[in-house]
Amino acid sequence: MASVVSLAQARAEHANRAKHLDDVIEQVTLTDGMQTIGGASIEDAVNLLRDKTAFPVALELVEFERPKDFVTLDEALGELHKMSSLNERDKQRLRTYEEMAKSHMGSEVLVPRQKTFTMVRERITVRDLLDQITKADDEYEWKNYGSEKKPVIILQPRAASALNWKVAQICKPRHISIDQLLAGCKDQPCGPLTQALSDHQISVMYLYEGTDIHEDDAPHGFLDICAENLVARDALNRIAESAHTSWTLGGIKGMRFLSFDPIRK
């Protein structure tokens, strides 16, 4: 009985998710961050959007360089100590960082330095929310690579993208499986997109040894990339549409990681 109720609740939640850019999200609360101090980041905003929408919302993070683009332990403690009030996440960070300071140098790097913001909104369209998020963090812009009826949204750097390189077209077979396209390289030839990503220093997260990401997170389906002038971003968007998933490109310069987040049913 409990499983039937849970399934019904999940279906109701999915039905309530925004399906178009002009659909309304009832409540938006972005006041703290999973990694950032004192507010939410672009990653937190994207996670919220994925919870509230029924279409792909992808994120290409700016390329961080270590250590110059990272917050140090001393910086983090200084920022936390000067804040007049702390939310629960920042209180936990303060305790963690003060404990770290007993055995680590103050120059120890922690997390990428990102812009933070707070945003609380009621009854806002997806389109307006995207506009406001990219205004709050103007390093990013958003684009719809799908259609008004079937959006495929990407938040990406306004400056240089790491995904503008051309992808070789594959016409035999005309419809290639994502499993074949993104096949791992262990004991077999790499999938053509896996190899191309690797050539550009991008690893697929669920294929990378030592991560906690399970291969069950891998996207599945078929797509057509028998077309000239496709770039890597186009291929990832076609995977997103076919597999009903979103993707994120993160990591640091010289070591980028691509992960997938299935759209919840």
HEC secondary structure over the chain: CHHHHHHHHHHHHHHHCECCCCCEEEEEEECCCCCCCCCECHHHHHHHHHHHECCCEEEECCCECCCCCEEEHHHHHHHHHHCCCCCHHHHHHHHHHHHHCCCCCCCCEEEECCCCECEEEEEEEHHHHHHHHHHHCCCEEEEECCCCCCCCEEEEECCCCCCCCECCCECCCCCEEHHHHCCCCCCCCCCHHHHHHHHCCEEEHHHCCCCCCCHHHCCCCEECECCCCCEHHHHHHHHHHHHCEEEEEEEECCEEEEEEEECCC
Same-domain pairing of 26 and 5: yes
What pLDDT, on a 0 to 100 scale, did the predictor assign at position 210? 47
Same-domain pairing of 100 and 119: no
Q: What is the CATH number of the domain that holds 141?
A: 3.55.50
Residue where a domain stops, chosen among 138, 159, 180: 159
- The answer to pTM > 0.85 is yes
Per-residue pLDDT of the chain (265 residues; tens, 9 = 90+): 554 444 444 444 556 899 999 999 999 999 999 999 999 999 999 999 999 999 999 999 999 998 889 999 999 999 999 998 898 999 999 999 999 999 999 999 999 999 999 999 999 999 999 999 999 999 999 999 999 999 999 999 999 899 999 999 988 888 999 999 999 888 888 999 999 999 999 999 876 554 454 555 789 999 999 988 999 999 999 999 999 999 999 999 889 999 999 997 6
Domain with 9 in it = 1-61+113-159
Same-domain pairing of 136 and 78: no
What pLDDT, on a 0 to 100 scale, did the predictor assign at position 201? 95
Contact of 110 with 71, CB cutoff 8 Å: yes
What pLDDT, on a 0 to 100 scale, did the predictor assign at position 172? 86
Same-domain pairing of 87 and 44: no
The count of structural domains within the chain is 3
Same-domain pairing of 54 and 122: yes
Same-domain pairing of 206 and 248: yes
Same-domain pairing of 191 and 241: yes
Same-domain pairing of 182 and 231: yes
Same-domain pairing of 46 and 119: yes
Same-domain pairing of 101 and 221: no
Same-domain pairing of 100 and 118: no
Same-domain pairing of 82 and 24: no
Residue where a domain stops, chosen among 112, 145, 175: 112
